[in-house]
Amino acid sequence: MKTNMKRYFLISVMALGVALSAAAQGSGTDYPARVELVKAQSAWFNSANAAGMTIDPLAVYHDLSFGYGLGRGDFRLQPEGNTNTLDIFTSGATSLGRGQVWGAFNYRNISAKDTRFNTMTLNLEDDLPFVVSDANVSPWKKQRYDMSMKASTPLVGDLVAFGISANYFTESGAKQVDPRCTDYEYGITAEPSVAFHFGGHTIGLSGIYRNGGVREVPVNSNSQQDQVAYILRGLGNYTDAVVGSLSGIGTFYYKRNLYGGSLQYGFGGRDLKLLAEGGYSYQLVDAFQTPTKPQRMGSTIQQKIFGKAQILAESETVLSKVTVEGFHRTTEGVEFLQELGVEWQTIGKYIRSNYDLWHLALGYDFFRKGEAGYNWMAGARAAYDEHNDKYILPASEMNYKNLTGELYAKKNWLIGEVSVLAQIRGAFRKNLEANYQYGGAEPNSVVVKEFYQKDFEYNTAGCWKAGAGVNVAFPLGGRTAMFCALEGDYLKPLNLDSKRLLGTLTIGFTF
Amino acid sequence: MKKYIILALSMLTVLGCTQFEELKGVSEVKPLTTGITVTTNTVDASVPRPDSYTVRFINYDEKLDISAKTDATGKVSVPNLIPGRYNVTVSAEVAQGGFTYYYSGTLTNKVITSDTSLSIDAAASKAGALVFKEIYYNGASGYYFKDQFYEIYNNSDEVQYVDGLCIGTLMPATASTTIYNWIVEDGHPENYVYLGAVWQIPGSGSDYPVKPGESIIIAQGAQNHKLIKDTSPVDLSKAEFETFIVNQTVNPDNPESVNMTLKIDFNVFGTQWLSSVFGCAYVIFFPDREFDNSTWVQPDGYTTKAKEFPIDCIIDGVELVNNATKINQKRMPTTIDAGATFTGATYTGKSVCRKIRSTKDGRNLYMDTNNSSDDFQVTDVAVVRRDGAGVPSWSPAAK
């Protein structure tokens, strides 16, 4: 871990060096509001096709920040807990000749308290049920390194540009109360792309390949006391297990592979930009136990179709942006019937569960440009989510539909050379339908009553959210500004006796 | 560098393709139907037949327990089974001439992946007179295991003499995925149990009478363990019998407690009889032969030694496994114990004890369907002679 730390620190320093040298080339102060506007202005940067950044370049920017965040209160999923996070984040975009490069690095340290029902999983996913759970309340410690980049070539023959997006992350963590674990996860994603540009039109094609792995080692600090655990299989169904003793569960590990691709069409006029894209991905995750004698614990087959459209109308003084996006994700949970000979042999494999999710979102942002990026902005966002999950045999189902809406506004005052960016936001979630029916053998188990039922209540609770924030930025000379940002959100469900408070304090630089 | 990146991505891609290939052809699970025919080919014609049998399909992985009654011809069709591994049990009881006959038959670890038909031959037996009433095997906090004990109860209406009674443990000592195929002279390994340890109560044949409703305690060490280890739940200083091997400071002989005789010790105990805290498969029996430690049997391909004893001489048996995940690793023939029981964790001070079926003349009658999954329950703490079991008049506990 120390070696990794050094490596990431060096990468961060190098990224900062590149950023500072690029910063020296420009003029004017890069206030945080300008960086926000820069990211909003580039349609292709916000797509799966990096090659398009040549046609629709992201303006040069750089930032570096240190953040502290907290989450308190019981209106949350139980495995999430009450969190304290430390973040170091840096990103930047610059031109390389007529091509473009963007990169980002994030280090995150998470301390969570009062988590429950997650024995060994760093990142729970709503369509990956094959995880281990227990009922003990426990802290978790995690840290994650996440690096991303996008690069695009110049237009070759004034016709075609090539691009690549990549992401690599590693994460490690440990649960702190028996049954506990030590975990390691990595993921690597590569998205090669090409964009053909003719006239004001651009057609893009991108592919995606993702590979990931997780290793989870269960252990008890008190070796005299075995701990009850549950190997989950979906919607409250589980297999009894223990952590500890000779018969305790072994090391869990997961393999992930994803393939996909998407098509883009873009139009760039003088004041109007349009980018539409649609794509498909196919992902398989296999869960195993005991690497030396692999036993299949389940697999998921996930298929996803997605689409996104961005329309940007921009003048010297304003930017209007409409974003429509959505996806349909369907995941099949496969369970295996195995018997042990010299190795575990599969004698049956069946689709036992389905996880179906529709997500549609519509957003609108308006920016009134100004000296420090923008004078003010306002936006609205609406989203619809529909979950239809079922366990086939014995039959169980969980369905819910949520509608969420959010309004937000920011005002930027330039007082002398100090930018004061204040924001307010309000959001609501309305549940349109909620149904959880467990038909398995253990309706009164802690897994059903305490875990699935209560997290279902969270997921389907109508609630409102109010938030505010302020970001004060001081110029430090050249393009560099130092900023200090404080944000807070308060969440309150309509029919549950709980609440949630979220807050972040960030100190950073833009340059 | 570029070469290595391309090579690495290519390898990951190939591995990914293999992963996709392994899930080819997977289909949605469908409920299955299995037809059962119960036969009684080995039951003497003089034994009365039941009107019907209860058939149970138990799938421990799925927590599925489906019961059905056969018709008079012993047939039934059982729907809504999930593909998986089942223990299929058949049971029935018939009372005639003052005796209760129990029918039982089992198919263990039967994999059912399609609609199918199965035949099960049920055997009949009279209810056992002596039964395991409580077994405390998993020790107390602090890795303390010298307080293990076994309580054997007279569940009948007649006085039973325990002189010569043996208690033994089957091999392997702990439930394991290793399957032993024992090699025996007559070529019928299914007719025996294979014991790695056997202790015998001495006596002339009438020294140790146990009246109906009374029990005896066999202690690993007949001491007051509460004084030795504060986490221990039991005082065994008045146990009737102890499995004494050698007099040591830590394993002193209790002169009040009768020392049993170690007849077979293939498990190599050294200074104490520690049966696995993870759970052994225990039997009690009166041997049908003299003990001879110079011969033994072994499983095919393994060096493990054991002594074979006919199933017919077994009076009672209980399969104890680590936890629910190990039930499929049973060692006990299903005609002795069609199920298994467990405390679920080691060094907890918990025990397993037999459930009370009814009371008669002020004494308890305990369940004995030859299925410990049904007959036993887990206790919060081990107790010697719980529920008012009687003490034999010759016991140190009676003095």
Please list, residue by residue across A274-295, b when 16 or more beta carbons sit within 10 angstroms of its beta carbon and e when fewer do: bbbbebebebbbbbbbeeeeeb
Residue B211 lies in a domain: yes
Q: Residue A309's pLDDT band (boundaries 50, 70, 90)?
A: very high
| Cα–Cα distance, A459 to A451 (Å, whole number) | 12
| Cα–Cα distance, B162 to B201 (Å, whole number) | 7
| Cα–Cα distance, A229 to A240 (Å, whole number) | 6
ipTM of the complex as predicted:
0.82
Nearest to A347 among B23, B111, B346 (CB): B111
CB A230 within 8 A of CB A133: yes
The token pair at B245 is 């091997």
Going from the C-alpha of B311 to that of each of A412, B160, B168, B193, B287, the distances in angstroms are 88, 20, 13, 6, 11
The DSSP-derived string for A109-166 is EEEEEEE-S-SS-SS--TT----EE----EEEEEEEEEEEEEEEPPPBTTTEEEEEEE
Q: Residue B266's pLDDT band (boundaries 50, 70, 90)?
A: confident
pLDDT at A25 (0 to 100): 43
Vertex B270 angle, CA B266 and B273, to 5°: 75
CB B325 within 8 A of CB B279: no
Question: For the domain that residue B111 is a member of, what is the CATH number?
Answer: 2.60.40.10
What is the average pLDDT across B304-310?
92
Least confident residue range of A142-146, A416-420, B303-307, B321-325: B321-325
Average pLDDT over chain A reads: 92
Question: Which among B87, B106, B126 is the end of a domain?
Answer: B126
| Cα–Cα distance, B73 to A82 (Å, whole number) | 63
B221 and B299 housed in the same domain: yes
Question: How many C-beta atoms lie closer than 10 Å to residue B398's C-beta?
Answer: 12
Question: Which among B68, B93, B126 is the end of a domain?
Answer: B126
Provide, as residue numbers in chain B, all residues whose Cβ is less than 8 Å from the Cβ of A190: 9
What is the average pLDDT across B242-252?
85
Amino acid occupying residue A415: I
B77 and B153 housed in the same domain: no
Instruction: Give the count of domains, chain B.
Output: 2
pLDDT at A222 (0 to 100): 86
Least confident residue range of A137-151, A244-258, A376-390, B194-208: A244-258
Task: Please list, in sequence order, all residues whose beta carbon lies within 8 angstroms of the beta carbon of residue A482, skipping any fewer than 6 positions away.
Answer: A473, A474, A476, A507, A508, A509
The conformation of residue B386, written as its DSSP 8-state character, comes to G
| Cα–Cα distance, B25 to B370 (Å, whole number) | 42
Whether B344 and A228 lie within 8 Å, measured CB to CB: yes
Residue B23 lies in a domain: no
B80 and B188 housed in the same domain: no
Question: How many C-beta atoms lie closer than 10 Å to residue A406's C-beta?
Answer: 17
Amino acid occupying residue A293: K
User: With 50 as the cut, is the pLDDT of residue A109 above it?
Assistant: yes
Any A CB within 8 A of B9 CB:
yes
Any A CB within 8 A of B326 CB:
yes
B347-396 pLDDT per residue, tens = 889 999 999 989 988 999 999 888 888 899 999 999 999 999 999 999 99
Q: Residue A74's pLDDT band (boundaries 50, 70, 90)?
A: very high
B98 and B170 housed in the same domain: no
B86 and B180 housed in the same domain: no
B43 and B192 housed in the same domain: no
**Full domain range(s) for residue B95:** 32-126
Provide, as residue numbers in chain B, all residues whose Cβ is less than 8 Å from the Cβ of A226: 323, 344-346
pLDDT at B173 (0 to 100): 85
Q: Residue B330's pLDDT band (boundaries 50, 70, 90)?
A: confident
| Cα–Cα distance, A226 to A219 (Å, whole number) | 10
Residue B112 lies in a domain: yes
Q: Residue A1's pLDDT band (boundaries 50, 70, 90)?
A: very low
User: With 70 as the cut, is the pLDDT of residue A76 above it?
Assistant: yes
Q: In angstroms, what separates the C-alpha of A241 from chain B's closest C-alpha?
A: 6
Of A231, A355, A210, A244, the C-alpha closest to A295 is A231
The residue among A1 and B76 whose pLDDT is bigger is B76
B109 and B234 housed in the same domain: no
Q: In the beta sheet, which residues pair with residue A212? A: A187, A256
Task: Please list, in sequence order, all residues whose beta carbon lies within 8 angstroms of the beta carbon of residue A194, skipping any fewer than 6 positions away.
Answer: A51, A160, A161, A162, A163, A204, A205, A206
What is the average pLDDT across A326-333?
98
| Cα–Cα distance, B370 to B337 (Å, whole number) | 5
Q: In angstroms, what separates the C-alpha of B126 from chain A's closest C-alpha?
A: 34
Strand order in the sheet with B75-81: B75-81, B32-39, B116-121
pLDDT at B285 (0 to 100): 94
Whether B323 and A394 lie within 8 Å, measured CB to CB: no
What is the average pLDDT across B126-145?
90
What is the average pLDDT across A422-428?
98
Of A457, A475, A322, A330, the C-alpha closest to A402 is A457
What is the average pLDDT across B339-344?
87
Residue to test with chain A: of B14, B110, B323, most A Cβ within 10 A:
B323
User: With 60 as the cut, is the pLDDT of residue A254 above it?
Assistant: yes
B79 and B227 housed in the same domain: no
Q: Count of H helices and E strands in chain A? A: 4, 21
| Cα–Cα distance, A405 to A239 (Å, whole number) | 39
B121 and B135 housed in the same domain: no
B96 and B211 housed in the same domain: no
| Cα–Cα distance, A499 to B354 (Å, whole number) | 48
| Percentage, residues of chain B above pLDDT 70 | 94
Give the DSSP H/E element, type plus range, for residue B226: helix B225-228
pLDDT at B142 (0 to 100): 85
Residue B271 lies in a domain: yes
Residue B12 lies in a domain: no
A189-241 pLDDT per residue, tens = 999 999 999 988 999 999 999 999 999 999 999 877 778 899 999 999 999 88
CA A451 from centre of chain: 23
B118 and B140 housed in the same domain: no
Of B49, B48, B114, the C-alpha closest to B82 is B114
pLDDT at A507 (0 to 100): 97
Any B CB within 8 A of A415 CB:
no
A258-276 pLDDT per residue, tens = 999 999 999 998 899 999 9
Nearest to A284 among B19, B61, B346 (CB): B19
pLDDT at A318 (0 to 100): 97
Q: In the beta sheet, which residues pair with residue A262? A: A206, A279
Provide, as residue numbers in chain B, all residues whose Cβ is less than 8 Å from the Cβ of A332: 26
Question: Which among B76, B111, B126 is the end of a domain?
Answer: B126
Nearest to B23 among A299, A392, A441 (CB): A299
B114 and B136 housed in the same domain: no
Cα nearest neighbour of B343 on chain A: A226
User: With 80 as the cut, is the pLDDT of residue B183 above it?
Assistant: yes
Provide, as residue numbers in chain A, all residues whose Cβ is less than 8 Å from the Cβ of B23: 284, 299, 301, 334, 349
Determine the 3-state secondary structure of A11 from DSSP.
Answer: helix
Residue B19 lies in a domain: no
The residue among B94 and A508 whose pLDDT is bigger is A508
Whether A259 and B84 lie within 8 Å, measured CB to CB: no
Whether A190 and B347 lie within 8 Å, measured CB to CB: no
Any A CB within 8 A of B27 CB:
yes
Whether B344 and A337 lie within 8 Å, measured CB to CB: no
